[in-house]
């Protein structure tokens, strides 16, 4: 049986997969089972932040696996402690503590636990347990994640959901204000929504959240699982929108270890005491191997000054797209290397199952990997070390496809 047949027979059918199977990759390029090469501007949905098989990750894996792969959190782990220091001092740059887990959903679940426990410790009861999130958000697939997510499609069939989540329209400051009650523990949102279609929070929305913290003491929690760790041209997605906001909690996963499974929560010193010994944990959180890999990634991003180079790459893309005159594309939005092409759905009349899915498949045929973000947006999430030449190539491939579709 070939890979497709094996998958069909033995692997759970929970993913809608494209009929393609990759066997190796290098940098921005990835190769399928038949040896066809693709320019990968999806990066495993914002995961492979340094592209495929980067030398620094290979080295960290080789060297650390020869020393110590796993060690329980019953003990101190030097690589974990160093990584936490990097995150606090160089990424968030605010006093706090870091918890390590394995995924974005796990990080968000932990953030919700923290919010509840913080107020339980303070008030002696769990009256303040509600969390406000945004419509079109995506926070993961665990029971906590789907309850937090502001999209009905992830919730269908899974009732009863974890109670206490309210969704407000993204960037609607008035709705956010009205949603806060005496039971609200936290406001959780993605500074830049990924799955929801590359929607950027406005500075006013961030400011409103800050005011609500001031007035009601609610916690501000940013889900930076997709937009964090440099992707937006800043270590922190929210700082590329507004400098002055200081969150209480930030969650990450995806790109933080360049493809090694890792998630994390940063918690401000004001709140971190709520998760004391015995309150939370994760067997594989912050292992020597995972932490060494993540350290190699953040050091490479720092040493190569990759974040500083992102604005010029974004400008190159935007300048070129602004000259396009294709019926199918109505615009481009996003920040840094988290960009979404908005599609003019009328130009994709018979596209199944959606305009974005159709265009992603057409680009794939031409040798460019991209990712749908909802039915009407196609995402570019190239590695942070993508070269200008690779961007040029991706633009050319996209132009070729759009020209073909126009004729």
Ligand X SMILES: Cc1ncc(COP(=O)(O)O)c(C=O)c1O
- The binding site for ligand X (CB under 6 A) comprises 103-105, 108, 138-140, 190, 194-195, 223, 225-226, 253
| Closer to ligand X by Cβ: residue 54 or 144 | 144
Q: Which single residue is written with the structure tokens 């700082």?
A: 239
Residues 52, 388: Cα–Cα separation, whole Å: 17
Report, in Å, the least distance between residue 292 CB and ligand X.
Answer: 20
What's CA 361's distance to the chain center, in Å? 22
| Closer to ligand X by Cβ: residue 226 or 268 | 226
| Closer to ligand X by Cβ: residue 103 or 199 | 103
| Closer to ligand X by Cβ: residue 225 or 307 | 225
Q: What is the largest CA-CA distance in the chain?
A: 67
Q: What share of the chain is helix, strand, coil (3-state, %, to 5)?
A: 40, 20, 40
| Closer to ligand X by Cβ: residue 39 or 257 | 257
| Closer to ligand X by Cβ: residue 226 or 370 | 226
Report, in Å, the least distance between residue 337 CB and ligand X.
Answer: 15
User: DSSP for 181-210?
Assistant: -TTEEEEEE-SEETTTTSEEPPHHHHHHHH
| Of 220, 253, 238, nearest in space to 107 by CA | 253
Question: In Å, what is the CA distance from 132 to each residue of 110, 156, 187, 248, 296?
Answer: 15, 20, 5, 15, 35
| Closer to ligand X by Cβ: residue 40 or 390 | 40
What phi and psi, each to the nearest 5 degrees, are found at residue 187?
Answer: -115, 125
Report, in Å, the least distance between residue 403 CB and ligand X.
Answer: 32
Report, in Å, the least distance between residue 263 CB and ligand X.
Answer: 6
Tokens linked to 129: 């347990």
β partners of residue 399: none
Closest residue to ligand X: CB criterion: 104
Report, in Å, the least distance between residue 393 CB and ligand X.
Answer: 26
Contact 165, 130 (CB under 8 A): yes
Report, in Å, the least distance between residue 183 CB and ligand X.
Answer: 24
| Of 67, 86, 157, 141, nearest in space to 109 by CA | 141
Report, in Å, the least distance between residue 261 CB and ligand X.
Answer: 8
Report, in Å, the least distance between residue 168 CB and ligand X.
Answer: 17
Helices and strands, number each (H, E), in the chain:
13, 17
| Closer to ligand X by Cβ: residue 44 or 233 | 44
| Closer to ligand X by Cβ: residue 108 or 398 | 108
Report, in Å, the least distance between residue 182 CB and ligand X.
Answer: 28
| Of 210, 179, 211, 206, nearest in space to 191 by CA | 206
Q: What SS3 state is found at 131?
A: strand
């Amino acid at each position: 049986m070939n890979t497709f047949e094996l998958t069909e027979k033995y692997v759970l059918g929970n993913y809608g997969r494209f009929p393609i199977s990759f066997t190796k990759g290098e940098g921005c390029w990835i190769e399928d089972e038949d040896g066809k090469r693709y320019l990968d501007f999806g990066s495993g949905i914002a995961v492979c932040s340094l592209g495929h098989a980067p030398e620094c990750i290979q080295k960290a894996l080789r060297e650390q696996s020869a020393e110590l792969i796993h060690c329980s959190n019953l003990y101190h782990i030097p690589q974990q402690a160093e990584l936490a220091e990097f995150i606090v001092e160089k990424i968030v740059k605010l006093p706090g503590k870091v918890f390590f887990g394995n995924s974005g959903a796990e990080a968000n679940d932990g953030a919700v636990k923290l919010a509840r426990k913080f107020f339980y410790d303070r008030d002696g009861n769990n009256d303040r347990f509600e969390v406000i999130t945004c419509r079109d958000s995506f926070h993961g697939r665990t029971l906590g994640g789907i309850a937090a997510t502001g999209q009905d499609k992830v919730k269908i069939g899974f009732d009863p959901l974890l109670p206490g989540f309210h969704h407000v329209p993204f960037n609607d400051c008035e709705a956010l204000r009205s949603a806060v009650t005496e039971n609200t523990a936290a406001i959780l949102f993605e500074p830049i929504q990924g799955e929801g279609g590359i929607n950027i929070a406005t500075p006013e929305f961030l400011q409103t959240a800050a005011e609500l913290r001031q007035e009601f003491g609610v916690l501000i929690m940013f889900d930076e699982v997709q937009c964090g760790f440099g992707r937006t041209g800043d270590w922190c997605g929210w700082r590329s929108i507004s400098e002055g906001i200081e969150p209480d909690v930030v969650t990450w996963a995806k790109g933080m270890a360049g493809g090694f499974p890792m998630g994390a929560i940063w918690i401000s010193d004001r709140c971190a005491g709520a998760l004391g010994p015995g309150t939370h944990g994760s067997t594989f959180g912050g292992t020597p191997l995972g932490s060494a890999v993540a350290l190699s990634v953040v050091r490479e991003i720092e040493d190569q000054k990759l974040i500083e180079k992102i604005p010029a790459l974004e400008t190159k893309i935007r300048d070129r797209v602004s000259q396009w005159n294709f019926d199918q594309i109505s615009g481009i939005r996003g920040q840094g290397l988290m960009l979404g092409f908005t599609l003019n759905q009328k130009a994709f009349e018979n596209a199944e199952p959606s305009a974005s899915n159709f265009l992603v498949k057409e680009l794939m045929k031409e040798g460019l990997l991209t990712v749908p973000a909802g039915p009407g947006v196609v995402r570019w999430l190239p590695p942070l070390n993508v070269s200008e030449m690779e961007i040029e190539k991706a633009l050319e491939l996209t132009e070729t496809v759009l020209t073909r579709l126009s004729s």
